[in-house]
Each structure stands twice: as C-alpha cells, then as structure tokens.
Structure 1
Amino acid sequence: MPILILVLAVVAVDQLSKFYVQSKMTLGLSLPVVDNIFHITYILNPGAAFGILEHQTVFFIAIAVLMLAAVLYVYPRLPQGSPVLRLGIGLMAGGAAGNVIDRIRTGYVVDFLDFRVWPVFNIADMAIVGGVGLIIFALYYLPEKKDGCND
C-alpha cells in the first residue's frame, strides 16, 4: 500500500505544479527565479528527454503503460527488506504516470523547470530520474539479504 501512496503523491505534486504553471503563465513565458541560473519557463514538450522522438505520443503512452504494468507485476514480488528499491520503483512509476496523464490529455508534456544548462523539465521527470537512480543504486551497491543475514 505505501507504493500507491507514493505514486499518488508524485502524480498529485506533478499535476498540481503543471496546472499552476499553465494557469498563471502563457506558453513560452520565462520568469527568472535566479537570473541566468534558474527560471520557470512554460513549454510543451512533444517528445522525450531533450525533445527526441517528437510527436510519438502513442509510442510514449504504450511504453508508460507497459512500465506501469511491469511495476504492478514486480513490486509485490520484491523482498520486504528492500526499501531503497521500493522507493525507487514508486518514484519512477509516479513520474511515468504524471507524464502519461499529460500525453493522454494533450499529446504533450508540460515542462517548466529551467536551469539554463539543461533542457526544461518537470516534477515527473525528477521523480523518474531519481527513481531510476535509486533502483540502480539498490541493485548494484546494496547487499542482498538472504536467510536473514548479509553475505
């Protein structure tokens, strides 16, 4: 049950932040928070990271649905002693769900966090990247517990 709460929290924060940006800004507007370092810039992204595969909405929706189905299958089978792995999967799933909502609704993803040295992104993107990072960390660097002891 905690993964569902995490996924819903990520989706809620992501969608609320996107709604706020869309309701307060016009498309293309960029507001400096820290001049030349961090801006809030409202854009619509028709592709994936860095705008690759533009307008492949059906492909991205299919990938997200398959990934969420895989999470539903794998998550209950994870060992209870894997909180970092579980957290990573929850963040990744929440981020994927947040972006797929945009794609289903409009065919675009709303992006607005602009650090000027990186493409504009959103909360869902942060959750996906953080989640995948935690999954990699858990799989490669945390010891696997077997029979109640560390090997």
Structure 2
Amino acid sequence: MIYFIIVTLIIAGDKFLKEYFRSSLRGKHRKEHFTRSGEGINTVDAMQDGWRRKLSPRIEFLENKGAASGILSSHPKILKGISGVMLCFCAFVLGKERQKGRVSVAGLGYALLLGGGLSNFIDRMKKGSVTDYIRFPEFPVKKISNLVFNMSDFAIFAGIFCLLFRKK
C-alpha cells in the first residue's frame, strides 16, 4: 500500500506544480525567469556564499519534447515506446517487491521511479512534451546548470539513488 501512496503522491504533486507553472508562466520563454522583485523564486537563501548559493533553484518554464536534455526529441514514438517499456518493468518489479510483504529500499526506489516516470509519461502522451520548471543556474557543473527539471525528475533521481545504494 505504501508504494501505491508514493506513486500517487508523486503524480498528484507534480501534476499540481506543472499546472500551476503552466498557468503562471504562460507566454514566458525559456530564458525568461519567473521573478519576484528581480530576484527569482529561491527556496534557499541566495545571499550566502558557497554551496548554498550554488544550489539555490530558480523557477524557469520549459516544455521539453525529449527526455533529459532533449534527448530523442526528434523521435517521439521511440521515446514513448522506451518509456512505456521501462514503466512496465518498474511496475512488474514493484509488484514483486510488494509480494514480499515488507517495505524495502528497492521497493521504495522502484516506487519513486514509477511515480516520476509515469507522471512525465502522462504529460508526454497528453501534450507531446513534459513541463519542466526548476533550474539551478549557479550549479558548478555547466551541463547541470543548463538543465530544467520537474518534481518527477527528482523522484526518478531519488529512485535511482535508492537502487544503487541498497543492500543486496
């Protein structure tokens, strides 16, 4: 039951945030930040130096037709197919974890992967793109500082982390 709750909360939370930012940022371009008093919406105090400033996110709107960093954006059918197969695999393995009758780190990882992947898959099937809205422009790794994420992406990363570092 806990796995179902995790998947549902990720999908519902991400859907709410995507709808909120779509309506709030409608008409804004990727390079335009949604700002308050010219500072952007930061969840971490950006006035301090060091890593706190580097990890301070900004709200930025992007409709991504591909996967991470726009991969496969010119091949939407292939992307949908790969996503569908991966989601079926996660659901199958999560079902096996659930049958064990206890909560495990692996089960948590697959629930996070399934919730995040399913939320992005629903977006992609409904509108042909995924809404991203969080960017870390000051992050020291340039490739990461250029990417825009959403809540589902963070769930996917957390799921991968759980699977990589679980006890076997």
TM-score calculated relative to the size of structure 2: 0.75
Mapped partners of 1:81, 1:2: distance in 2:
10
Residue in structure 1 matched with residue 17 of structure 2 by the alignment: 17
Unaligned runs of 5+ in 2: 35-39, 47-52, 140-144
Between the aligned residues of both structures, percent identity stands at 30
CA drift of 1:43 comes to: 0.9
- Compare the two structures and name the one with the higher strand fraction: 1
Letter in 1 for 2:41: V
What are the equivalent positions in structure 2 for 1:97-108 lying under 5 Å apart? 97-108=118-129
Question: Which range moved further: 12-21 or 77-86?
Answer: 77-86
Which 10-residue stretch deviates more, 43-52 or 8-17? Answer: 43-52
C-alpha displacement of 1:97: 0.5
Which residue does the alignment assign to 2:151? 123
SS of 1:33's equivalent in the other structure is: coil
Asked whether the 8 Å contact 1:55–1:107 carries over to 2, the reply is no
TM-fit CA distance, 1:107 = 0.9
> Residues 109 and 161 of structure 2 are in contact (CA less than 8 Å); yes or no, is this contact kept in structure 1?
yes
Root-mean-square deviation (CA, aligned residues, Å) is 1.9
Q: Deviations over 1:38-89 (max 9, x none)?
A: 3111111111112222232222221222122112322232344552111111
Residue identity in the other structure for 2:152: A
Output aligned runs, 1:32-51, within 5 Å.
Answer: 32-34=40-42, 37-51=56-70
Amino acid at match of 1:104: M
Q: Aligned partners of 2:83, 2:2: CA distance in 1, in Å?
A: 21
Moved more, 22-31 or 102-111: 22-31
2:135 aligned residue (91, 114, 130): 114
Q: In structure 1, how many angstroms separate the alpha carbons of the residues matched to 2:116 and 2:75? A: 18
Q: Deviations over 1:77-124 (max 9, x none)?
A: 234455211111100000000101111111111011011142011001
Match of 2:33 in 1: 30
Preserved CA contact (<8 Å) 2:94 2:111: no
The ranges of structure 1 where at least 4 consecutive aligned residues each deviate by more than 3 angstroms after the TM superposition are 34-37, 79-82
- Counting only pairs closer than 5 Å after superposition, residues 65-76 of structure 1 correspond to structure 2 as 65-76=84-95
Moved more, 60-69 or 13-22: 60-69
2:96 matched to which residue of 1? Answer: 77
Q: Please, what TM-score do these two structures have when normalized by structure 1? A: 0.83
Aligned residues: 140
